[in-house]
């Protein structure tokens, strides 16, 4: 799976951190950054993306197909 964060959309709600703290963190601007997406299983990664209130996290499968949002 591939993860992309739209930093223009990110509002720093940090819901993704609660779902997957080894995958996401906030930078000094309060925007989500990617740490280690392989540190959790695919379901946890999708749950973290779904938790974002502004859909700033996109998840793609290994073939490049968008899984979320």
pLDDT in tens, 6-65: 999 999 999 999 999 999 999 999 999 999 999 999 999 999 999 999 999 999 999 999
- Using CB atoms within 10 A of its CB, is residue 50 exposed (0-12), middle (13-18) or buried (19+)? middle
pLDDT at 21: 98
In the chain the domains, ranked by start, together with CATH numbers, are 2-63 (3.30.70.20)
Contact 13, 30 (CB under 8 A): no
Give residue 68's pLDDT band: very low, low, confident or very high (50, 70, 90): very high
Beta bridge pairs of residue 34: 24
pLDDT of residue 35: 98
């Amino acid at each position: 799976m591939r993860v992309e964060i739209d930093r223009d959309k990110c509002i720093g709600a940090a819901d993704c951190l609660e779902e997957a703290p080894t995958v996401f963190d906030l930078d000094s601007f309060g925007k989500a950054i990617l740490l280690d997406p392989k540190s959790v299983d695919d379901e946890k990664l999708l749950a973290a993306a779904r938790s974002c209130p502004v859909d700033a996290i996109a998840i793609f499968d290994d073939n490049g197909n968008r899984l979320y949002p």
